[in-house]
Amino acid sequence: MSALELQFQQQKHAFNLCPYPEYSQRQQQLKALRQAIEQHSAALCAATSSDFGYRSSDETRLLEIMPALSGIDYHLKHLKSWLKPEKRHVHYSFMPASNRVMQQPLGVVGIIVPWNYPVYLALGPLMAAIAAGNKAMLKLSEYTPATNKVLSQICQQALGTDAMVIEGDADIAAAFSRLPFDHLLFTGSTAVGRKVMQAAAANLTPVTLELGGKSPVLIAPDAEIKHIAKRILFGKTANAGQTCVAPDYVLVPKAKLELLITELCQAFKDFYPDFATTPDYSSVINTSQYQRLTAMLELAIQSDATVIDCSGQRDSNSKDSEATNSKRRLALHLIIGADDKSNLMEQEIFGPLLPLIPYDTFDNALLYIQQRPRPLALYLMSNDKATVQQVLRQTHVGGVCINDTLVHVAQDDLPFGGIGPSGLGNYHGKEGFMRFSHQKAIHKKGRFNSGRFIYPPFNRKVFKAILSWLTR
C-alpha cells in the first residue's frame, strides 16, 4: 500500500468512528479555520507573491482571503438551518406515516487545487466539505510550494487530521484521483478534467469538475462603452488574467469598436499608470505559461491581426520592456482580427490577451456564442430588459453576470459551476453544503400498518377494491 493510499485509509477509518459530527463540532471547526486564516493572512500574501514571482498583497486579500472569510461567515450563519431535516409530503395511501430528508455526510472528500488561486480554491471547497461533516484530503499544486506550506499550517492548526494536505507532481495528482473518495472535486483545465473523471469512474466516485473555457463578454447595442470599460478591464487584468472566469473575448457592435479600444487602453493606464513598476499587477505564474502567452501573441501578429499593447510599450527592445518581461509581467493586449482557428480563439487564454470581435447584428453575436462550447461564464453588458431576457433564455452557460465581470463568483448565496465542457456540478454557499452531503430519504411508520391491506394473497376482495381505488 502506498503512502497516499495509507493516508486515505486513515481518513476513512477516522470518518467511520464519527460518521455524523454534531453541529457544535462543525461550527467549532469553521471558526478555527477562520481564525487560522486571519492569523496567517500576511504569510499567505507573501507566499503567493513568492510563488507567482510577484503578486500584490492587496490583490491576494481581495480575491482570495476576503471571499474565504466571507464564505466561512456565510456557512456559520446558515449551517444550523441546513442541517435541519426537511419534511416531505406523504401520499394519503401510505398514511399514517411521515417523510423527511436528512443531510448525511458523504465520508472522505478529495479536493484537487489549481495554481491560479491556490488559497481560495483550496479553502472554498474545504469549508463546504467540513460544514457537511466530512473528512478532506487536498492535493495542492506543485507550482505553489510556498503557499502550500502556509495552507498546511492553517489546516493543521484549525482541523488537525480532519484535513490532510498532499503535495506532488502530476503523477501524484493522477494517483490521488484514483483513490476511492466519496466525492472528488477538481478545479483546472477541461483536458485534465477528462482524465480526472476517467480515473474516478473506476471507483464510481462522483465528481464535481470546475473547468473553464472561453467566457465571452457580449456588449449589446444599448450599452454605454464609457461605463463598462473598467468593469471589463477589472475582470481581465485581475491576477493578470489567470482566472477561469476571466473574459476571454469581447463581442462588440462594429460601430463601437474604436471607442471600446480607446476606453480599455485608457482604463488600463488609469489602473496601472506606470506599468513596468506598478505594485498592483501580478506576474504570470511561471516561464512556461509566459512563453505560451507570448507565443499566442506572436502568432496573432504573424497572422496580420491588429495587436494593441495597452501599456504603450510597443518597442520590445526597450529597457522598460526588458525589465517587465524579466518579471514575467505581461500587459493587456487587445487583438482585433484574430484567426478563428488559432489557439488564441480555440483555447482558454488564461492571461491578459483579449480578442475583440466586432459584429453587425446582435443575433449574429448571440449565434457566435451558441455555436461554441458552453462557457463557464457569460458577461452581458445591457440595460435593456428584453435583451437580457433573450440572452438568458437562449444561452447555456455556467453563470451570468450582467453589467459586470468576475464578481458573480464572490456571491455567497449563488451556486458556482460550469456546464458541459466548462464543468460538472456546482458548489459555494448552500449548494456546496449540498454537494458534499447525501440527501438521505427517510420514511417512517408507526404501530398501525396500512400496508397490510395490499399484501398477498391478491385474490382477496379487499385487495381488489383498494387496488381499483388506487388506480382509478
Choose, from 244, 265, 310, 401, the residue flagged as catalytic: 244
Q: Sheet of 183-187: strands edge to edge?
A: 163-166, 135-139, 108-112, 183-187, 207-210, 423-424
Q: How far apart are CA 319 and CA 33, in angstroms?
A: 46
How far apart (Å, rounded) are the C-alpha atoms in residues 278 and 257? Answer: 28
Cis, bond preceding 375 (omega within 30 deg of 0): no
Neighbours of 364 (CB within 10 A): 10
Q: Which of 64, 210, 263, 348 is catalytic?
A: 210
- Report CA torsion sign: 93, 97, 100, 105: negative
**59 classed as catalytic:** no
348 is catalytic: no
Q: Cα 329–332–333 angle (5° rounding)?
A: 115
The vertex-228 CA angle with 225 and 233, nearest 5°, equals: 115
In the block, which residue shows the cell 472528500? Answer: 109
C-beta separation of 213 from 373 below 8 A: yes
Query: Among 222, 247, 242, which Cα is nearest to 384's?
Result: 222
Query: Maximum Cα–Cα distance for the chain, whole Å?
Result: 98
* C-alpha span between 291 and 465 (Å, rounded): 78
Q: Which residues are catalytic?
A: 210, 244
